[in-house]
Structure 1
Amino acid sequence: MHARLVRALENAAPGSVRTRATDRLGLAHDASHYLLAPQAVLVPRGATEVAALIRAAAAVGLGVTFRSGGTSLSGQAGTDQLLMDVRRHFRQIEVLDGGARVRVQPGAVLRQVNARLAPHGRRLGPDPASESACTVGGVIANNSSGMTCGTHANTYQTLESLTLVLASGTVLDTGAPDADAVLRHHEPSLAAALLSLRDRVRGNLDSVRRIEQQFAMKNTMGYGLNSLLDHDSPAQILAHLLIGSEGTLGFVASAVFRTVPLARHASTGLVVFPTLREAVAAMPELVAAGPAAVELLDAESLRVSGRSADMEAALLVEWQEEDLSLLAEREAAAHRLLGTSLSRDAAGRAALWHTRKGLYAAVAGARPAGTVALLEDVAVPVPVLADLCDDLTALFDRHGYERSVIFGHAKDGNLHFMLTERFGDGDSRRYAAFTEDMVDAVLGRGGTLKAEHGTGRVMAPFVRRQYGDELFDVMVAIKRACDPAGTLNPGVLLTDDPAAHLKHLKPVVAVESEVDRCVECGYCEPVCPSRDLTTTPRQRIVLRRELAAATAAGDLPLAEELAREYQYDAVDTCAVDGMCATACPVLINTGDLTKRLRASTVSPAQQRAWGSAARHWDGVSRAMKLALNTAAAGPFVARAATRLPGLPRWSPDLPRGGARRRPAPVSSPDALYLPSCLSTLFAPADGGAGVPAAVRRLAARAGLRLSVPAGIGDLCCGTPWSSKGLPDGYEIMRQRVRAAVGDPAVPVITDAASCTEGFERLLPGVPVVDAVAWVASEVLPRLRVTRRLPSLALHPTCSSVRLGLDGAIAAVAGAIADRVDIPEGWQCCAFAGDRGLLHPELTASATRAEAESVRRGVYAAHASVNRTCEIGLTRSTGETYHHLLELLDQATEE
């Protein structure tokens, strides 16, 4: 990007401009099948900087596109001009009126907002399947709905007010009593234009009829012209036009929503039908029974999601009620109607909804290598839904789209269908022909070409065809009034280019087997601890694709730049915590790729050194313990030493070295205990006895016997080798541990959640149990708690989440504390073995939000279930964290 343009933007918002290839290309990719590379990424820190940057961009003739969660499927969040990241510094959530309302910034993830509202028995109305990753900004920009909200509780219906930034830089709070006066004062021509357009539409009976018909369905095609019928004042018209405007009319800096009740009881079932038509034909009678959700799944979607291969179609149905007796009546009526039973079982219901919510990415992840997934969503009146299914099936056959999928929100006449296409050869003729036929089929059934995913680039050329010339001209006038220079998200939602949807199509480059199934949906990003420091799993993957593409194109300078930046941004600062796999619908663990890339840079000498360490781990761990003690005694020497490349950074908040692990074999034990070597490396907090002593004492109080095997000092879970991609050393340690453990008839337990994961991988077939889980099930029922804490701040770990320890941790914590809080902003701390020592900035970034939450509260104690996590949280919060079992030990002392 030209230096003059960069200076102009930097002057508007110093420190906000990113022009590195990694920043630009990492954010160029979203969940859609379009790809445009921005000239720069802008990262404003508030609404004032957003306004300044928009003005600066307009002055230099560049457009600005807002980017938040990047889960949109229609090409709304990409640009070849300026891309503004409005997620990083816009995540505040404020619950109002006991949960009846909530004020949210655009970067807050929908699931996080609902987690804040849940204690109040409330939730947001929109409930898209991407709720784990989509942000409020995207929900507003696309007028999101979802599985249960229909049109009665979507974004348009539940939004109360917006604080918005217009293209001119004007900031307006539409909820203020003087909002109309402020708008008329600062934007007189816009206020006048909105009222004129309101009167123009209302005075045209055909326009009124067409708008009412279109917005009786789910409809996100074009601008929300229903706002011109539903609202009278210019501020309210503007606020509701912003909903579904895809960032083309202004930036939403915050929004106030009216929330809806969170139903306490629900019952769910999967109803199988012999054909897709019969499933859809059952809809009118089923809808009359009042279900909260009816989700359609065809044979291919059922197959990919792991259901029986002989299923041809199914309806996922759910009833929700506040009253259990009313729910029982619903269940009985559903049984009479459908001939099947519903279930209230939480685990079973969650499994069904997990299948549905992850269906897009699961189906797309099963696509042939090198193809891109194209997901469309349309809506028609429910009575003609079966006919549209027949139309689409015929079109798939006519155009040669095999194994295409149909699913969606059948209750609302809203279908999603997915094709796979190969755009790498530049040929889009088949896709173009299919799209023309599909448009004719949907509009011929009185439908809308976009029900909930937004118009984007994919349907912009067809807005005029759906609404007609008059209403299209009204939309053009709205855009011109709000954004006269065309600065905001150019090329999206409205266009006169009939081929706009066929340009900038994304080629998919195959790179590595670990990640080739990635559909760039972004579900992984909210759980990634490095997302605010360097890159996310999606960005790591797309940067590999960009690197491969640059190499194939012979663009060696770009390839070298990407490779150079990738080392720190994607390899060194990846926590390898596997949390991405917990959120990924196709279970991609980007850490597997990172480990292999790390291994590729390890020299033979380093391999030999780590192999020797595996053979002499007791001596190595004691040497590391001694190094910590020496550093504590001579901090000036320690600081100088840690400036050397590749060495951990010492700081005064690191603990001294711990105690050597010693064997304690016993006959007929109740468990084989492998204390973590972390207790040797790091001394317990506050000079305590540490978790190994606590586990032994707790077992003794419960009358249970633990055996610590001979040679324990030389044993390790293998994580130091696996995380660095050192297979030789890992295999040496695996053999040592296997020989020491044998085939025990009792469970093997260890006292750090990350080590439990490590031993599980190291000892397949051996029952490995985390000490917290073992204590919760075997020890806690036999203990007497003598001292309870009034409050406890609890930090679960990434390993404890993946191990499914939430219930055990809650049981132990609840036994010792009257109030247990998992602070807002909790996520993996990214200490990740030695990452927190090599790159403390990674842990600082990952724990920043949680630390702020902890500092706002008052707690009697702070706990986690991993020693390195305790160190990381102590460092970031200034509060001392202990292992949860240490606190249980103190609470049950005789």
Structure 2
Amino acid sequence: MEHHYHQLVTELQLFLPDNRIITDSALCLAYGTDASFYRLLPKMVLRLASTAEVIRVLQLCSQHAIHCTFRAAGTSLSGQAISDSVLITLTDDWRQHEISDQGKKISLQPGVLGADANKYLAPFGRKIGPDPASINSCKIGGIAANNASGMCCGTAQNSYRTLAGMSLVLADGTYLDTRDKLSKAQFAEQQPSLLAGLRQLHEDVINNEALSDRIRHKYRLKNTTGYSLNALLDFADPFDMLTHLMIGSEGTLGFINEISYHTVPDHAFKASCLLVYPDIETTCLAVTELANTSVAAVELMDGRALRSIADHAGMPDFIKTLDLEAAALLIEVHGESETQLQHSCDQAMAVISTFRQLNQVPFTQDKKVCANLWAMRKGMFPAVGAVREIGTTVVIEDVAFHVEHLAAAVRKLTELFELFGYNEAIIFGHALAGNLHFVFTQGFDSQAERDRYGHFMTAVTQLVAVEYQGSLKAEHGTGRNMAPFVELEWGEDGYQLVKRIKALFDPNGILNPGVIVNADPKAHLSHLKPLPAADALVDKCIECGFCEVVCPSKNLSLTPRQRIVLYRELQRRQTNNEVIDDSLQQIFEYQGIDTCAATGLCEQRCPVGINTGDLVRKLRTARYQKFQPIARWSAAHFAGTTKAVAIGLNAANLSRQLLGKKSIASLNKGLRKISHNKVPLWLPELPAANPHRLPDLKKELPKPKSKRSESLQATRNKVVYFPSCASRTLGQSPNAQDSRSLTEVTQAVLEKAGFDVVLPHELTSLCCGMPYQSKGLFDIASSKVQELEARLWQASEQGRWPILMDTSPCAKLSQDSFTLPLTIFEPVTFVLEHALERLTIQPVPETVMLHITCSSQRMGLADKMLHLAQRCATKVVVPEHISCCGFAGDKGFTLPELNASALATLKQQVPNGCTRGISNSRTCELGLSHHSGINYESILYLVDEASR
């Protein structure tokens, strides 16, 4: 078999670049890990960029009888996206979409994020039907392949029910687009036996009354166990059967190349409420009544689930007083109008008015209250993960019962938890669909623990599939997790149907073997993923992958999830005294540590709040220890250090004027090559030093000369202005229309708004500590923080006046680090809250690009930043899929490939005629300018130009 893999690689190299054929075992481990608690190590990982590449790869895998598995975002939970052979992933080239029929239909490539699809449809008041909890991270390919649903989706709006057509590729490379008559005709000639086989399956099901009834019964519920057998009943046309069988097939029947959806309304008016009942029986009776109303979502939470999040911020106080018998319903209602919304709310409350409540949060449209309520529901899965013992994993099972059985089922599930010792387990779920999730922690490092899990799952499957005739997998897919139990759910004749479908589509069995169809009765207990202790900063990671979409290094090296996977493996080998090969260590040094921007955006997406950058900075500490002496010297002589940088900037600018940009760039390129990239990259956008001289405040400020000036000064508000070391040192970039430096422009805006500007004493020696913190030099960073805090405390008259920092990274770090009661602003919030009311704004008649920095996102300023930009310019464009620019302080000079990768799609998104971009971080703006072809500058330039 190894010979076949070598031959496959040789043939792949004829049409794929080497960097998209990954065979290194360490990288295969990183890329091959998904959100499930199973692990297989791929022989190779392929990153494919086009349909033609998919077709050719499948043809080659078929010829060599090599197994292959498709992976979208890797957020699936049941083990359906892992492989010990060839794992096929997609590049970012698969993000195209097309909207038609006034938003009533949308065609999507498999790489489109679910949330992006809804963003495209928002102007039409529409959305896609599926609404999985992972919609911000999962991709359309995975949503369709797993028939994912969610809180509001139910069974009426999932991918199966809203499918309008698709293009696909079969295991042998045959292509079909069911939306194209010619493609269907060609397919009929190429695959007559497949179409005939589907017709036969349809006839066999129709003629088996008992099986037909079972299929109808099962699909009254959410059901993703096995294949979508209802396709054989719902349709007679083989093409309709084929496409609907692809939905929920988990990559075992073919590749979904593009999918068209009928969209559903996304009503503008929404309200939520929380109702708490004394016991699960009362709660479920209320669900039964609500099922007859027009409510959009009803989420059930048992007493243990409520207890798990009682101490979270924003939770109603009464949650802490509830006992474990209590249960709650979180209800959401939608309406096309305020009147319709109110009617639906009244109707819902009327039908449950007779049930005794313990507490409630009444229906409200208040967005903050609603967000807190839904944060309660969404926080339950991570709440269990956050308290699990190190080395254990979080298991989330996903079943469905008929609504009338909910109360009894919850009781019996709870009894099973107690019987098998899962005392931390919680239950919640989409009650209208009878869909329950139960979450518990499980260790797999001993035979006793594996046996406990095995016996528990046997009991659960008997309860769900046999006693209550429910669904073993309602929306998470069969995977490896439930493959041994497909026959238990469907019966012998139903399972034979499943196997016939697999054989018809994939006769050689190359697609995702072991998933859905698996002859091993203990497959769910095999290939279990170890989660060894590595570092307290990341030990809570559940490897869900929610972090990956915002990571700037995801297309260059590793994502946060992948960094943690490799770090865990390194620590596991070290603990077990295993050999750590040079390849693994070297890969982790560059791909894990060097190329991490450490921006912390991953923390915002992480269900358990992990900032992988914290781990990376900690690991950098050892590397930068040898630079401690020079770092300490630079911190102690910061004014001299920045002055030296300014001299260098002016020298480089003079060289550019004398030799020209091309000559300097060529010289820099040669020096970088000779020095193995130790010489920093020179950017044409690099400015001369800031010529603006701020006042020397080592001396006392001059006092007012007259009583009148004293009176005027007393009536004017003050602001303490702290210009960052970057803005003090860097002038404006050469191609800018406004040649003034940021320090000049900031003071101009403040003057225009009528503020007296106060500068801290010994300004040139001050720094927020960011340059040192990013390299893991925490002691030095802390000393600079304390020095700056003391100076700002003095300048602000002990916190009396607000403090404006002209770059957002400095403001964010200071907000996080200062202990004194100082009010720190970056430009956007300061202008909106303090300056805007003092200014008259006339929008500048042009289109500007807006980059929302990582620190701004972490401060929750994205909407405010966009709002301010839209006040000051007639059109503002926020480019897609650029969360972080990847400049990361000085990495834009030392590791420019990170900046280039993060901004690879920026230039193509700049509209014709647009000449300016805005942001609020001076160093980020250099990289943005370099990769966009337009000049990026602080948003304060735009405010200054638009204001009077």
TM-score bracket relative to the smaller structure: over 0.9
1:18-57 matches, cutoff 5 A: 18-57=22-61
Please identify, of 652-661 and 503-512, the stretch whose mean Cα deviation from structure 2 is larger: 652-661
Please identify, of 150-159 and 665-674, the stretch whose mean Cα deviation from structure 2 is larger: 665-674
1:127-276 matches, cutoff 5 A: 127-276=131-280
Count of equivalent residues: 890
3-state secondary structure, aligned to 1:418: strand
Match of 2:802 in 1: 747
1:446-845 matches, cutoff 5 A: 446-558=469-581, 560-604=582-626, 606-634=627-655, 635=664, 638-643=668-673, 644=675, 645-659=677-691, 662-663=694-695, 670-685=718-733, 686=736, 688-742=739-793, 743-764=798-819, 765-786=821-842, 788-845=844-901
CA separation in 1, counterparts of 2:152 and 2:913?
A: 38
Please identify, of 622-631 and 197-206, the stretch whose mean Cα deviation from structure 2 is larger: 622-631
Deviation digits for residues 191-223 of structure 1 (CA, Å, limit 9, x no counterpart): 111111111111211121111111111000100
CA separation in 2, counterparts of 1:469 and 1:735?
A: 72
2:918 to 855, 860, 863: 863
Match of 1:366 in 2: 387
From the superposition, tell whether residues 526 and 18 of structure 1 become closer, same or farther in structure 2 (CA, over 3 Å). same
3-state secondary structure, aligned to 1:819: strand
Quick one: which amino acid aligns to residue 468 of structure 1?
Answer: G
CA separation in 2, counterparts of 1:648 and 1:36?
A: 40
1:318-357 matches, cutoff 5 A: 318-336=332-350, 337=352, 340=360, 341-357=362-378
Structure 1 residue 529, shift from structure 2 partner: 0.9
Quick one: which amino acid aligns to residue 431 of structure 1?
Answer: Y
From the superposition, tell whether residues 87 and 73 of structure 1 become closer, same or farther in structure 2 (CA, over 3 Å). farther
CA separation in 1, counterparts of 2:769 and 2:124?
A: 44
Structure 1 residue 637, shift from structure 2 partner: 5.4
3-state secondary structure, aligned to 1:881: strand
1:8 to 2, 6, 11: 11
Structure 1 gaps, min length 5: none
3-state secondary structure, aligned to 1:43: strand
3-state secondary structure, aligned to 2:320: coil
CA separation in 2, counterparts of 1:569 and 1:206?
A: 56
Deviation digits for residues 645-683 of structure 1 (CA, Å, limit 9, x no counterpart): 544211323333323662476687521110111123322
CA separation in 1, counterparts of 2:124 and 2:864?
A: 25
Structure 1 residue 386, shift from structure 2 partner: 0.8
Contact 1:28 1:78 in 2 (8 A): yes
CA separation in 2, counterparts of 1:432 and 1:825?
A: 42
Deviation digits for residues 427-467 of structure 1 (CA, Å, limit 9, x no counterpart): 41111111111111112112010100000001111111111
Contact 1:167 1:488 in 2 (8 A): yes
Please identify, of 187-196 and 353-362, the stretch whose mean Cα deviation from structure 2 is larger: 353-362
CA separation in 2, counterparts of 1:617 and 1:446?
A: 72
Quick one: which amino acid aligns to residue 729 of structure 1?
Answer: I
3-state secondary structure, aligned to 1:868: helix
2:293 to 289, 293, 313: 289
Structure 1 residue 552, shift from structure 2 partner: 3.9
CA separation in 2, counterparts of 1:542 and 1:586?
A: 16
3-state secondary structure, aligned to 1:162: strand
Quick one: which amino acid aligns to residue 13 of structure 2?
Answer: E
CA separation in 1, counterparts of 2:462 and 2:111?
A: 37
CA separation in 1, counterparts of 2:189 and 2:688?
A: 64
Match of 1:317 in 2: 331
Quick one: which amino acid aligns to residue 320 of structure 2?
Answer: A
CA separation in 2, counterparts of 1:774 and 1:451?
A: 49
Structure 1 residue 334, shift from structure 2 partner: 3.9
Quick one: which amino acid aligns to residue 675 of structure 1?
Answer: P
3-state secondary structure, aligned to 1:225: coil
CA separation in 1, counterparts of 2:447 and 2:218?
A: 35
Quick one: which amino acid aligns to residue 558 of structure 2?
Answer: T
Match of 1:436 in 2: 458
Quick one: which amino acid aligns to residue 319 of structure 1?
Answer: V
CA separation in 1, counterparts of 2:407 and 2:321?
A: 21
Contact 1:664 1:709 in 2 (8 A): no
Structure 2 gaps, min length 5: 656-663, 702-712
CA separation in 2, counterparts of 1:309 and 1:562?
A: 47
Contact 2:268 2:336 in 1 (8 A): yes
Contact 1:65 1:488 in 2 (8 A): yes
CA separation in 1, counterparts of 2:306 and 2:284?
A: 16
CA separation in 1, counterparts of 2:103 and 2:919?
A: 30
Please identify, of 228-237 and 304-313, the stretch whose mean Cα deviation from structure 2 is larger: 304-313
Q: CA RMSD in A?
A: 1.9
CA separation in 1, counterparts of 2:615 and 2:621?
A: 10
Is 1:417 equivalent to 2:471 in the alignment?
no
Deviation digits for residues 557-616 of structure 1 (CA, Å, limit 9, x no counterpart): 54x321210111011111111100111121110000010011111134x11111111111
Structure 1 residue 46, shift from structure 2 partner: 0.9
From the superposition, tell whether residues 393 and 331 of structure 1 become closer, same or farther in structure 2 (CA, over 3 Å). same
Match of 2:73 in 1: 69
Quick one: which amino acid aligns to residue 424 of structure 2?
Answer: R
Contact 1:365 1:519 in 2 (8 A): no
CA separation in 2, counterparts of 1:233 and 1:127?
A: 28
Contact 1:37 1:79 in 2 (8 A): yes
Structure 1 residue 6, shift from structure 2 partner: 2.4
From the superposition, tell whether residues 110 and 832 of structure 1 become closer, same or farther in structure 2 (CA, over 3 Å). same
Quick one: which amino acid aligns to residue 769 of structure 1?
Answer: F
CA separation in 1, counterparts of 2:291 and 2:259?
A: 32
Is 1:846 equivalent to 2:897 in the alignment?
no
Please identify, of 352-361 and 133-142, the stretch whose mean Cα deviation from structure 2 is larger: 352-361
CA separation in 2, counterparts of 1:322 and 1:761?
A: 42
Structure 1 residue 824, shift from structure 2 partner: 2.2
Contact 1:632 1:656 in 2 (8 A): yes
3-state secondary structure, aligned to 1:741: helix
CA separation in 1, counterparts of 2:503 and 2:867?
A: 59
CA separation in 1, counterparts of 2:804 and 2:945?
A: 21
CA separation in 2, counterparts of 1:879 and 1:330?
A: 51
From the superposition, tell whether residues 661 and 162 of structure 1 become closer, same or farther in structure 2 (CA, over 3 Å). farther
Match of 1:885 in 2: 940
Contact 1:851 1:873 in 2 (8 A): no
Deviation digits for residues 814-864 of structure 1 (CA, Å, limit 9, x no counterpart): 22222222122231111111111111111111112333222x554363211
Contact 1:660 1:713 in 2 (8 A): no
Q: What is the percentage of aligned positions where both structures have the same residue?
A: 38
Structure 1 residue 875, shift from structure 2 partner: 1.1
Structure 1 residue 553, shift from structure 2 partner: 4.5
3-state secondary structure, aligned to 1:182: helix
Contact 1:863 1:884 in 2 (8 A): yes
3-state secondary structure, aligned to 2:825: strand
CA separation in 2, counterparts of 1:809 and 1:886?
A: 14
